[in-house]
Structure 1
Amino acid sequence: MAIRCLIVDDNDHFRCAARALLEGEGIAVVGMAAASDDALRQVDDARPDVALVDIDLGEENGFEVAQRLVDGHRRPPHVILISTYEERDFEEMIAGSPAVAFLSKSALSGAAIREILQEAG
Structure 2
Amino acid sequence: MGLCCLIVDDNDHFLQAASQLLEREGIDVVGVASTGADALARYEELRPDIALVDIDLGGESGFDVAQRLLERRDGSRASVILISAYDESDFADLIDESPATAFLPKSELSARTIHQALGVA
TM, length-normalised to structure 1:
0.94
1:37-73 deviations in Å (ceiling 9; x for gaps)? 1111111111111100000000100000000101133
Question: Identity of paired residues, percent?
Answer: 56
SS across alignment from 2:119: helix
Deviating beyond 4 angstroms after TM superposition, the runs of 4 or more aligned structure 1 residues are none
> Could you list the runs of 5+ residues in structure 2 that have no partner in the other structure?
none
Question: What residue in structure 2 maps to residue 37 of structure 1?
Answer: 37
Q: How many residue pairs were aligned?
A: 119
Q: Could you say what the CA RMSD is over the residues aligned between the two structures, in angstroms?
A: 1.1
Question: What residue in structure 1 maps to residue 119 of structure 2?
Answer: 118
- CA distance in 2: counterparts of 1:42 and 1:21, whole angstroms: 20
Question: What residue in structure 2 maps to residue 50 of structure 1?
Answer: 50
Q: Which amino acid aligns with 1:93?
A: L
- CA distance in 1: counterparts of 2:39 and 2:77, whole angstroms: 12
SS across alignment from 1:68: helix
Question: What residue in structure 1 maps to residue 61 of structure 2?
Answer: 61
Question: What residue in structure 1 maps to residue 28 of structure 2?
Answer: 28
**1:11 and 2:15 are equivalent in the alignment:** no
Q: Does the Cα contact within 8 Å between 1:69 and 1:77 map onto a contact in 2?
A: no
> Could you list the runs of 5+ residues in structure 1 that have no partner in the other structure?
none
Question: What residue in structure 2 maps to residue 109 of structure 1?
Answer: 110
SS across alignment from 1:26: coil
- CA distance in 2: counterparts of 1:76 and 1:62, whole angstroms: 20
Of 73-82 and 101-110, more deviation after overlay is shown by 73-82
Question: What residue in structure 2 maps to residue 78 of structure 1?
Answer: 79
SS across alignment from 1:29: strand
